[in-house]
Chains A and B, each alone.
Chain A
């Protein structure tokens, strides 16, 4: 995706950073105008709100982080914290290095626009999941979102993982409701457990089931 071997030694010295596991790249609220390209390892994006830290994203080698700070001309406050999940190496750039970044990443402009469009698209999809006040409806929409967002074709259909944590992040469901809904749809054979996670066995039934689930949660 990007050609690190195009960097000469001096450039590497200038841009390369190593973070050990649990070390922060930056904290929410810090000032910074740099962008990171993950070379090795994994970086977790963390939102700190009302004294609580929630993981809101995971970045792997080849991915870009902090493109907004990079494109902003004025001092920028980081909207999230970023922490190395394992030992991680990154390249850190500011706007002065734009030419260098463009030479490292073919189609940088298109890529960065795609990253922005993707994040907006995701946020808009989450908005439509969160609109219903009814937890069962949010559960159904969250399941379909997780399947479409991160599912992979398996032998039994599109396989996807779904944890209580993910259902909280996507559909704002508390752990108890999440567990209840999962076991209910498994029992009704609407969802099926597979080796790697779940598949939706009956999408129509799932879409129609929020009404019935709602009654059950109320009961």
Chain B
């Protein structure tokens, strides 16, 4: 979707929103019936539970937010807070406008469905990871999952820009547990810390270490 063609379109331009850095698109608990497609910039997603706020995602250009709006007739409560990370341009629309945009932008629906399908794939992998009730297993599966989606090949192995805190939130473990598991993996030389992230030296060794670690934790 090119921004310029969209800006010129009278229907779409009415739905364009721009946010400066730090500005909120909406807050958790707000009532709304619209979804957003981010055209430029990036949006941070926060979730608050038991009075603790944590970052649960970052959404960039071309991605969509609040697709749940298309399932619900009328307003519903936003389940997270969205804040512009940088200056951001988005289209905001409800189900009625969705039909208008569809006729204006060829392949709009197909693109959106593909985006949702990718997110569904990732969500299904998360389901698979969380089906394990073994902490070591969860951490290792999550490292491998992250490695297959957001990693960078480096001479020493696969670099993940992922912190212990992020792992802790993703697999729902306490800080201490995650650090013990990561510490063990580092001391077994299948993993090392680099620039606030981790490098997996050998994915097969990581899987094997999982089995070892589990047996030792049980023993």
Contacts and interface: CB of A to CB of B under 8 A. Distances in A.
Interface of A: 67-68, 71-72, 79, 107, 109-110, 112-114, 116-121, 123-124, 126-127, 130-133, 135, 172
B67 A113 contact: yes
A113 B112 contact: yes
Nearest to B98: A110
Interface in B107-124: 108-110, 112-114, 116-117, 119-121, 123-124
B123 A113 contact: no
B131 A121 contact: no
A130 B131 contact: yes
Given A123-B127, A126-B127, A110 B95 contact: yes
B102 interface: yes
Contact of B68 (A117, A132, A133): A117
B116 A116 contact: yes
A17 to B, nearest CB: 23
B133 interface: yes
Contact of B116 (A120, A131, A133, A135): A120
Interface SS of chain A:
helix
Tell me which of B95, B98, B116, B135 has the highest count of chain A C-beta atoms within 10 A of its own C-beta: B116
Interface residues of B, number: 28
28 contacts: A68-B120, A71-B113, A72-B114, A109-B102, A109-B109, A110-B95, A110-B98, A110-B109, A113-B67, A116-B112, A116-B113, A116-B117, A116-B120, A117-B116, A120-B120, A121-B68, A121-B71, A123-B123, A123-B126, A126-B127, A130-B127, A130-B130, A130-B131, A133-B133, A133-B172, A135-B133, A172-B130, A172-B131
Contacts of A110: 70, 95, 98-99, 102, 109
A112 B109 contact: yes
Contacts of B113: 67-68, 71, 112-113, 116
Given A71-B110, A109-B108, A132-B172, 13 more contacts: A67-B113, A112-B113, A113-B98, A113-B113, A114-B70, A114-B71, A116-B67, A116-B117, A120-B120, A126-B127, A127-B130, A133-B133, A172-B131
A131 B172 contact: yes
Contacts of B120: 68, 116, 119-120, 123
Most A CB within 10 A of own CB, among B99, B108, B119, B135: B119
Contacts of A117: 67-68, 70-71, 116
A117 B98 CA distance: 14
A121 B126 CA distance: 13
Contacts, number: 77
Contacts of B99: 107, 110
A77 to B, nearest CB: 12
Contacts of B108: 109
A130 B172 CA distance: 10
B59 to A, nearest CB: 14
B112 A71 contact: no
Q: Which of A72, A113, A127 has the most CB of B within 10 A?
A: A113
A123 B124 contact: yes
A112 B71 CA distance: 11
A50 B131 CA distance: 14
Contacts of B116: 113, 116-117, 119-120
Contacts of A113: 67, 70, 98, 109, 112-113, 116
A127 B129 CA distance: 9
Contacts of B68: 117, 121
A119 B118 CA distance: 12
Nearest to B108: A109
Contacts of A133: 133, 135, 172
Contacts of B172: 131-133
A33 to B, nearest CB: 13
A131 to B, nearest CB: 4
Contacts of B123: 120, 123-124, 127
B105 to A, nearest CB: 11
A179 B71 CA distance: 34
